[in-house]
Amino acid sequence: MSHYVWNAALVMAEYVEAGDLVDVRGKRVIEFGAGAALPGLLCVKRGAQFATLTDYPDPAIVQNLERNWFENLVESDQDKIARRIAGTPSFDTETYKEIVTPAPFVKGSRREQEEQRVRCAVRGHAWGESVQDMLDCLPSSIESSETGTEGVSDNNERRYDWILLADTLWVSDGHADLLKSCLAVLREDGHGKIFVCCGLHTGYNTVQRFMTLATSPVFGLQSRLVEIRRMPVWGETRSPEELRKESELLKEEDLEQFSVEDRNRTVLVYELWR
């Protein structure tokens, strides 16, 4: 289902677009379990210093992610229009074949040059495994978002300011590995944030298990519930304002009793930090 854009990604994209709570301008951002990567791609459009899009290293999943990266960031508007008029899929174009190949990533290749040009990279990543590829994506010499000076000032400049998690909590067995990957790339000085938007597909207990583990002594994070969002469904007749008012009435203690229908149209928003 990684090629779909789910409610959690839509909500996260709203926060990125608003730029208040999630201000990515001049920041280094990584999205785990990105799927179609709507929030991560939007971060580039909103002025992120660099964004890395990751998902499970299955060829079909990564290929779809790479295609979204290519069509939204790499391909020129002129080439995109010409391709659509000709009815040619992006993966059949010579530019796509030259840049996006199944061969292992090579430093100094045309692919890396394009990633640095568009300030965005794509990597396959299994949670809990080495994160070196994601750290190596970051430019070797970057302007510090805090000091305004050139060069790498400390270890935090080789890590990420924001981690985005949209609908990544539904399998409890993956929670520990996901948190390991998050802490391995998150800056260590307390200024980094993990932003979580999650649907209740597998129930509120699953979300609680993740938050309990994240804030345990093992991982040592702090957390805050930002919002409980009620999403519209097909044929919804209520206005956005009515849905907003309904969302404000929702309480955490009520979530365990939600029906399947209610769970599927509810998104929880959290932020976590060291």
Q: What is the pLDDT of residue 154?
A: 61
Residue 74 included in any domain: no
Q: What is the pLDDT of residue 155?
A: 72
Residue 110 included in any domain: no
Give the chain's residues under pLDDT 50: 142-153
**CATH code for the domain of 209:** 3.40.50.150
Residue 169 included in any domain: yes
* Residue range(s) defining the domain that contains residue 174: 7-56+120-273
Residue 251 included in any domain: yes
The DSSP line for 162-211 is: EEEEES--S-GGGHHHHHHHHHHHB-SSS--EEEEEEE-TT-HHHHHHHH
Residue 45 included in any domain: yes
Cα Rg of the chain, angstroms: 19
Residue 129 included in any domain: yes
Count other Cβ atoms within 10 Å, centred on residue 179: 21
Residue 202 included in any domain: yes
Encode pLDDT of 161-204 as tens digits. Answer: 999 999 999 999 999 999 999 999 999 999 999 999 999 988 89
Residue 140 token pair: 């070797």
Token pair 């008012």 in the structure block, residue: 245
Q: What is the pLDDT of residue 145?
A: 46
Residue 206 token pair: 């699953």
Close Cβ partners of 137 (under 8 Å, ≥ 6 residues apart)? 50, 52, 115, 121, 123
Q: State how many domains the chain has.
A: 1
Residue 73 included in any domain: no
